[in-house]
Structure 1
Amino acid sequence: MISWVVINRLLFFFRSRLILCTYYGIKGVRVPTLNQLQKQIAKLESQANQIKKKEAGAVIARIKEAIAVYGLTAADLGLSAKGPKAAASKVGRKTAAKKGRKTKAGKIKFKDDNGNVWTGHGRRPQWFLDAIAAGKTPEQLAT
């Protein structure tokens, strides 16, 4: 699949050509239509896929060679029986904890009769403001 960078560069090129030709009154310069651009994009995508298929065999061979040389296992690569997503999610949780981000929600500090809850952090929810306007105190809503 062709990258958006390439598409944006093509579009920028043709737009700038059109603007310059319009500004300087140059006639006879052909600016491609959307359909023509889409055909060019499809052609480039097919070329990219062909190159990718050609290179994939060599890449797989290099990976197999490295696995054999270093004696790597699926677990070493983060590929467990559960699949690569399970291993990746574990890594993500570890980095989130390292960065000091909270991994679970805060404790509920306020609750009303309808089951609405609020931790007390951030902007006050509308149900809390409505309850205060109706005459309740924050202490009455505290859990």
Structure 2
Amino acid sequence: MATYSELMAQAQSLMAQAEQARKDELAGVITDIKAKMKQYGITVADLGGTSTKRAAKPAAAPKYRGPNGELWAGGPGRKPQWVRDVLAAGKSLDAFRI
């Protein structure tokens, strides 16, 4: 009977072989799909996708300027250190609104 270590080594070897086989077959599959799409006039939109990459979400416009010129949009998440310092000093962020 094989040991756990031997079986794990075999499993890792098989996974590496499977990944290599997938990579080897991938180019042919893509070529076949493209040929069939062209043959039948199928577009990416027909398949429920988009033909262009999705644009990155634009950054929010800054709403606050810190004492040293730092900018902050005031969104969710962790506040910048300068904002935490201002709040800890008991000041209002309204004084730093752009």
Check if 1:39 corresponds to 2:22.
no
Give the number of the structure with larger relative contact order, counting CA–CA contacts within 8 Å between residues 6 or more apart.
2
User: Shift in Å at residue 110 of structure 1?
Assistant: 1.2
Deviations 1:25-57 (A, max 9, x none): xxxxx4623244213431464367458757975
Measured in 2, the distance between the counterparts of 1:137 and 1:131 equals 7
State which of 100, 112, 117 in structure 1 corresponds to 2:66: 112
Q: Which residue of 2 aligns with 1:128?
A: 83
User: Shift in Å at residue 139 of structure 1?
Assistant: 2.8
Moved over 3 A (4+): 47-57, 59-65, 123-126, 132-137
Higher Cα radius of gyration: 1
Measured in 2, the distance between the counterparts of 1:111 and 1:61 equals 53
User: Shift in Å at residue 112 of structure 1?
Assistant: 1.2
User: Shift in Å at residue 65 of structure 1?
Assistant: 4.7
User: Shift in Å at residue 88 of structure 1?
Assistant: 4.4
Name structure 1 gaps, 5 residues minimum: 1-29, 79-86, 97-102
Question: Normalised by the size of structure 2, how large is the TM-score?
Answer: 0.52
Shift of the 32–128 alpha-carbon distance from structure 1 to 2, 3 Å rule, reads same
Q: Which has the higher helix share?
A: 1
Measured in 2, the distance between the counterparts of 1:109 and 1:42 equals 55
Measured in 1, the distance between the counterparts of 2:61 and 2:26 equals 52
Residue identity over aligned pairs, in percent, reads: 26
Q: Which residue of 2 aligns with 1:66?
A: 36
Shift of the 116–65 alpha-carbon distance from structure 1 to 2, 3 Å rule, reads closer
Alignment of 1:1-143 (within 5 A): 30=1, 32-43=3-14, 45-46=16-17, 49-50=20-21, 53=24, 59=29, 62-63=32-33, 65-67=35-37, 69-70=39-40, 88-89=52-53, 92-93=54-55, 103-122=57-76, 124-134=79-89, 136-143=91-98
**RMSD value over aligned CA atoms?**
4.0
Question: Normalised by the size of structure 1, how large is the TM-score?
Answer: 0.41
Deviations 1:44-89 (A, max 9, x none): 64367458757975x46743652552357xxx569xxxxxxxx542
